[in-house]
Structure 1
Amino acid sequence: MTQLLWLRSDLRAHDNTALCAAMAAGPTVALYLITPQQWLAHDDAACKVDFWLRNLSALQQQLALLNVPLLVRHADTWRQVPALLGDLCQNLQVRAVHVNEEYGVHESRRDQACREHLAQQGVALHSHLDQLFFAPGSVLTQSGGYFQVFSQFRKVCYQRLATALPACRPLPAAQAPLPITSDAIPSEVTGFAPPSEALRQLWPAGEDEALQRLQRFAGEQLEWYDQQRDFPATPGTSQLSAYLAAGVISPRQCLHAALTINRGEFATGNPGAVCWISELLWREFYKHILVGYPRVSMGRAFRRDTEALAWRHAPDELAAWQEGRTGLPIVDAAMRQLRDTGWMHNRLRMIVAMFLTKNLLIDWREGERWFMRHLIDGDLAANNGGWQWSASTGTDAAPYFRIFNPLSQSAKFDPEGRFLRHWLPELASLNKHDIHNPDALDGLFGVAGYPRPMVDLSRSRERALAAFKNLEPAHV
């Protein structure tokens, strides 16, 4: 009985749950769907689409070693997918389709529509747990609800992992060759302009690259992760987020690498390893939130009361933030990093998000959308969770009165100004003290070629506090 493996955000051969299940059940054919209108509707970045295609080409070579042909089909939106799958299953005499679960509302509806359509043809659709350690709905509070506080969620995860550590699945043995020819992988998709070669070189494709990054990070940097991860000029992070988002590497592979370094400990041992494992669980937490509270994947705030916030409509200020010309060096440097690399350091994501939502009092959804349109590691759950955390509208979010000061954050986490000099060459001549706040050098003109700050930090902070205080006191 022929099996169809429908690849989505799981572009790898190693430790791929659906691939293992399909090949264990019978001769397997792989499928990837190009859905440009759906990607545009979901604000997927052009650099991310390019990354998908490059990784798909690398995966095709891996699958060829397993004698698994890879087919590529086109459908403008997911509405067309059930019929497309049905026709393909009929043509190939497929009796079962295997997928790794995805968790957004649209993804869930797509899969349910496919399941119902295929069932009419006698074809089963099997969903497999792959992106997460635990299935959503299996880690619940004592009252049976989804956790809303990360520390409580993490504690239960630690307990579960200690007794049932998810294993990495071995690469399946090659199957007998099938009389099906693989399709060519397109080099680009209409509507998604290819990124610069410089950006591509920052993010080489393929499982080998992802595993090398993991091994390098685990062996050389993991032990100091907790001390170095907040400094954007220091290579203190794993640089794996794009590979995790596209499924080029699995969270299980990451967890096992950390546990190897930390002698099997989750919550004790090396602080760097413990901190990084906690970050993997933050990723897990936000995907569980996506399922437990589906409104967050439909542009709604987790905290319903914050929907009444009086966000400002300020398109010129939004554009200045997007283009990195706010006059606040750490914000501008971060936004330029995003534009040129498709990525932004996590500490900077919090700084620029708080600046937009608190100092400019612009709706977090504007920032969430801008990030998704530019991030190579754009992930609905993580991106939404991070933006709502910074905007104080989300689950377990920063208290509304906690507002990062971009000047003090810059001085603390880029003390020598190395990150600022790299991205703001117009400020490169300033010393390590002046570069964080060049406006203070001259009360009238600041630094030639660099804009004055677009907002008074103190006054804008008070404006944000007042806006939140105007909400119902019981909910703040």
Structure 2
Amino acid sequence: MSDNQLYWLRNDLRIRDNHALWHACDKGNVIAVCLITPDTWQDHDDAGVKIDFWLRSLRTLKASFDELGIPLRIVHCKRFSDSPQALLQLARETDAQGIFFNDEYGIHEQDRDDAVSEAFADASLTCHRYADQVLFMPGSLRTQEGSMYKVFSQFRKQANQRLHDSLPECLPAPNRQTLSGVTSDTVPESIPGFAPASKEQQETWPAGEQAANSRLKLFAEEILFDYKDLRDQPAVDGTSRLSAYLTIGVLSARQCLHAAVAANQGELDSGNPGAVAWVSELLWREFYKHILVCYPRVSRSRAFRPETEAVPWRDDPEGLAAWQQGRTGIPIVDAAMRQLLATGWMHNRLRMISAMFLTKNLLIDWREGESWFMRHLIDGDLASNNGGWQWSASTGTDSAPYFRVFNPVTQSQRFDPEGHFIRTWIPELRDLDAKQIHQPPAGDLFGTADYPRPIVDLGDSRKRAIAAFKSLGDQS
């Protein structure tokens, strides 16, 4: 009997610290397989720049597979629902005895994975699944009442206690295997329906494990200790810039956690404030994935807090378009949106500012913003994107109180005081001084004729948003 095994890769494009790959190689000769499912990817608003990054990373992974003697098969399907039959057919063609894969989260991903498990069981083939994307199995951290946490600070406290007891280990790369005789397929350069990334975007986001580990090393050695002080300044390289690698699994959360703890002399939640703050951000990522599994309604574009489904969101196509294109007349918001369009990425502080401007000052449904971000972000992740948008819109778990409305001008003055970030992305304002650039004067005497006037009054729109949310309580 053959000892061939399928390793089904998705968003785990690495050979190191990959649970499904490691255990598959330990069981027999491995044939790696990935499914191209463009129709579902489009339904999920995956960005062209993200698909391009995934394909480039897959090509570097294939080179690593070649060195390990692992063939890579690429199967073109249309939708997730085609996965069971496509994988079973490949198992029969390669005489594979089972399949190994790392679980993914979200209702469509979980339904797909469950369907594959059932299909292989029905065919008397084995199926091995691993919780590789997360530090803890979703749902395993619970309150004393037995429910999933709804407040991050309480979730983080238990997570830290667990991590103090034992850090999850990082697995090495598997050993080279005996050639299976199965030939590899060529990784496509692009996928129809997804615009390729620009040369600038590809240079900004080099693909593959080596690039990811080089960035992690640079961050841990040169940026991490100042992270708490610099992470909110968009003009400074003060964040990890690892989110894109984490999203498609070129890097694991465990690798990041170990790098932070090692740099912090073995400490997890004490010691250097920058390291502690970054570990907390890793746990925010974890928290939102647990929420996705334990409260499936957020996968269905529903508010985490059901009562906020009644918020009277405004239908404002012109305002939405101005926000999307960075033409709102609010410099920090416009600079952020232009950064997103040009690079496929946005600084986290700016994600909060631009999200709150859309949902509070324009009172436009957070789902419009969530979808727009996913269609343009190289690091678009359902759990983190949804969690961030619902936090800003005051509809989610552990969300900002509805009366907390960021003033984008004040935020700009605080986190980009000299206007360096604004000048980078709004060249028509580059000649304004540090005081004027956050709130340009009317008229063209200062060289701002090409820049729009604000589309909304910040003070009046804040009052409107507070009244809209307050009315929910009045109706109950």
TM-score of the superposed pair, with normalisation by structure 2: 0.98
Root mean square deviation, CA, Å:
1.3
Instruction: Give the corresponding residue for 1:397.
Output: 399
CA contact (8 A) 1:34 1:74 kept: yes
1:474 Cα deviation from its structure 2 partner = 9.7
Instruction: Give the corresponding residue for 2:121.
Output: 119
86, 90, 95: which one aligns with 1:88: 90
1:472 Cα deviation from its structure 2 partner = 2.5
Task: State the alpha-carbon separation in 2 of the partners of residues 261 and 198 from structure 1.
Answer: 31
Deviant stretches of 4+, over 3 Å: 441-446
Instruction: Give the corresponding residue for 1:107.
Output: 109
- For residues 320-376 of structure 1, the C-alpha deviation after alignment (integer angstroms, 9 at most, x for no partner) is 000000000000000000000000000000000000000000000000000000000
1:442 Cα deviation from its structure 2 partner = 4.8
Instruction: Give the corresponding residue for 1:251.
Output: 253
CA contact (8 A) 1:438 1:446 kept: no
- For residues 98-125 of structure 1, the C-alpha deviation after alignment (integer angstroms, 9 at most, x for no partner) is 1111110000000111111111111122
Tell me whether 387-396 or 445-454 shows the greater mean CA deviation. Answer: 445-454
Task: State the alpha-carbon separation in 2 of the partners of residues 411 and 201 from structure 1.
Answer: 31
172, 192, 195: which one aligns with 1:193: 195
- For residues 153-186 of structure 1, the C-alpha deviation after alignment (integer angstroms, 9 at most, x for no partner) is 0000010001121000011111111101110000
Instruction: Give the corresponding residue for 2:170.
Output: 168
Instruction: Give the corresponding residue for 1:372.
Output: 374
Instruction: Give the corresponding residue for 2:231.
Output: 229
1:222 Cα deviation from its structure 2 partner = 0.2
CA contact (8 A) 2:103 2:132 kept: yes
Task: State the alpha-carbon separation in 1 of the partners of residues 321 and 45 from structure 2.
Answer: 17
Query: Secondary structure in 2 aligned to 1:221?
Result: helix
CA contact (8 A) 2:443 2:449 kept: no
1:443 Cα deviation from its structure 2 partner = 11
Amino acid at match of 1:6: W
Amino acid at match of 2:323: W
Task: State the alpha-carbon separation in 1 of the partners of residues 178 and 4 from structure 2.
Answer: 12
Instruction: Give the corresponding residue for 1:448.
Output: 449
Query: Secondary structure in 2 aligned to 1:61?
Result: helix
311, 318, 321: which one aligns with 2:320: 318
Is the alpha carbon distance of 1:474 and 1:224 closer, same or farther for their aligned partners in structure 2, counting shifts above 3 Å? Answer: farther
Task: State the alpha-carbon separation in 2 of the partners of residues 446 and 425 from structure 1.
Answer: 10
Task: State the alpha-carbon separation in 2 of the partners of residues 80 and 131 from structure 1.
Answer: 23
Amino acid at match of 1:170: P
Task: State the alpha-carbon separation in 1 of the partners of residues 156 and 401 from structure 2.
Answer: 20
Task: State the alpha-carbon separation in 2 of the partners of residues 127 and 290 from structure 1.
Answer: 18
Is the alpha carbon distance of 1:20 and 1:403 closer, same or farther for their aligned partners in structure 2, counting shifts above 3 Å? Answer: same
Amino acid at match of 1:233: A
Amino acid at match of 1:111: D
Amino acid at match of 1:377: D
Instruction: Give the corresponding residue for 2:345.
Output: 343
Query: Secondary structure in 2 aligned to 1:470?
Result: helix
Percent identity of the aligned residues?
58
| Match status 1:17 vs 2:24 | no
1:92 Cα deviation from its structure 2 partner = 1.1
Amino acid at match of 1:202: T
Amino acid at match of 2:467: A
- For residues 8-40 of structure 1, the C-alpha deviation after alignment (integer angstroms, 9 at most, x for no partner) is 010001111110010001110000111110100
1:447 Cα deviation from its structure 2 partner = 2.3
Instruction: Give the corresponding residue for 2:100.
Output: 98
Amino acid at match of 1:173: N
1:86 Cα deviation from its structure 2 partner = 1.1
- For residues 27-83 of structure 1, the C-alpha deviation after alignment (integer angstroms, 9 at most, x for no partner) is 100001111101000000000000000000000001111111011010000111111
Gap runs ≥5 in structure 2: none
Provide the aligned length of Structure 1 versus Structure 2: 474
Superposed counterparts of 1:10-409, under 5 Å: 10-409=12-411
TM-score of the superposed pair, with normalisation by structure 1: 0.98
Amino acid at match of 1:403: V
Task: State the alpha-carbon separation in 2 of the partners of residues 415 and 461 from structure 1.
Answer: 23
412, 421, 432: which one aligns with 1:419: 421
Instruction: Give the corresponding residue for 1:466.
Output: 467
1:266 Cα deviation from its structure 2 partner = 1.4
Query: Secondary structure in 2 aligned to 1:291?
Result: helix
Amino acid at match of 2:413: A
Task: State the alpha-carbon separation in 2 of the partners of residues 363 and 274 from structure 1.
Answer: 34
Amino acid at match of 1:31: V
Tell me whether 48-57 or 79-88 shows the greater mean CA deviation. Answer: 79-88
CA contact (8 A) 1:353 1:387 kept: yes
